Amino acid sequence: MTELRTLLIRYDEIGLKGRNRRFFENCLLNNIKRAFNGLDGVRFRLPRGRIMVDMPSPLADECAKRLAYVPGIASFSIGYPVNPDFEEMAALGIKLVEPGLRAGGELKFCVRTQRTDKTFHKTSPEINFEVGSRIMSVLSTKGLVVNIKQAEVVIEIEIGRGETVLFDHRIPGIRGLPVGCSGNVLSLLSGGIDSPVASYFMMRRGCRVHFIFFDNQPFLGRGGLDKVLKLSKILNRYQSRGRVYVVPFQDIQVAIRDHCTPENRVVLYRRLMYRIGLKVAQKIKCLALVTGESLGQVASQTLENLAAVSCVVPMSVFRPLIGMDKQEIIAQARKIGTYEISIEPAPDCCSVFMPSRPATKSRIDRLERDESKFPWQDLMQEAMDNMEVIDLDAEAGD
Which residues are near Mg ion by CB under 5 A? 190, 192, 348
Q: How far is the CB of 247 from ligand ATP (least distance, A)?
A: 8
Residue 111 or 392 having the CB closest to ligand ATP: 392
Q: If contact means CB under 5 to 8 A according to the sort of partner, which of ligand ATP, Mg ion, none does residue 226 touch? A: none
Residue 55 or 247 having the CB closest to ligand ATP: 247
Residue number closest to ligand ATP, CB atom: 192
**For strand 153-160 and strand 107-115, is the pairing parallel, antiparallel, or unpaired?**
parallel
| CA of residue 151 relative to chain centroid, distance | 31
322 three-state secondary structure: coil
Q: How far is the CB of 274 from ligand ATP (least distance, A)?
A: 9
Residue 128 or 338 having the CB closest to Mg ion: 338
* Nearest to 306, CA basis, from 371, 364, 247: 364
Where does this chain bind ligand ATP (CB under 6 A)? 188-190, 192-195, 213-214, 273, 291-293, 297-298, 300, 348-350
Q: If contact means CB under 5 to 8 A according to the sort of partner, which of Mg ion, ligand ATP, none does residue 168 touch? A: none
Number of Cβ atoms within 10 Å of the Cβ of 384: 15
Q: What are phi and psi for residue 321, nearest 5 degrees?
A: -95, 5
Q: Name residue 356's amino acid.
A: S
Residue 176 or 224 having the CB closest to Mg ion: 224
CA dist 333 and 325 (Å) reads 12
Q: If contact means CB under 5 to 8 A according to the sort of partner, which of Mg ion, ligand ATP, none does residue 293 touch? A: ligand ATP
Q: How far is the CB of 309 from ligand ATP (least distance, A)?
A: 9
Q: If contact means CB under 5 to 8 A according to the sort of partner, which of Mg ion, ligand ATP, none does residue 214 touch? A: ligand ATP
Specify the length of the chain in residues: 398
Q: How far is the CB of 270 from ligand ATP (least distance, A)?
A: 6
Q: If contact means CB under 5 to 8 A according to the sort of partner, which of Mg ion, ligand ATP, none does residue 349 touch? A: ligand ATP
* Nearest to 182, CA basis, from 69, 24, 331: 24
Q: How far is the CB of 221 from ligand ATP (least distance, A)?
A: 14
Label residues 130-160 b or e (16+ Cβ within 10 Å = b): bbbebbbeebeeeebebeeeebebbbbbbbb
Q: How far is the CB of 209 from ligand ATP (least distance, A)?
A: 12
Residue 73 or 273 having the CB closest to ligand ATP: 273
β-pair partners for 77: 8
Which residues, 6 or more positions from 156, have their beta carbon under 8 angstroms from its beta carbon?
77, 111, 112, 113, 114, 166, 167, 168, 170
Q: How far is the CB of 293 from ligand ATP (least distance, A)?
A: 5
- From start to end of 198-293, where are the E strands? 207-215, 243-248, 288-290
Q: How far is the CB of 305 from ligand ATP (least distance, A)?
A: 10
Q: If contact means CB under 5 to 8 A according to the sort of partner, which of ligand ATP, Mg ion, none does residue 211 touch? A: none
Question: Nearest 10 degrees: CA dihedral of 291, 295, 300, 302?
Answer: 140
Confirm if 67 and 7 have CB atoms less than 8 A apart. yes
Residue number closest to Mg ion, CB atom: 192
Q: If contact means CB under 5 to 8 A according to the sort of partner, which of ligand ATP, Mg ion, none does residue 158 touch? A: none
Number of Cβ atoms within 10 Å of the Cβ of 277: 27
Residue 86 or 213 having the CB closest to ligand ATP: 213
Q: If contact means CB under 5 to 8 A according to the sort of partner, which of ligand ATP, Mg ion, none does residue 238 touch? A: none
Q: If contact means CB under 5 to 8 A according to the sort of partner, which of Mg ion, ligand ATP, none does residue 300 touch? A: ligand ATP
131 three-state secondary structure: helix
Q: How far is the CB of 182 from Mg ion (least distance, A)?
A: 26
Residue 52 or 193 having the CB closest to ligand ATP: 193
CA dist 304 and 298 (Å) reads 12
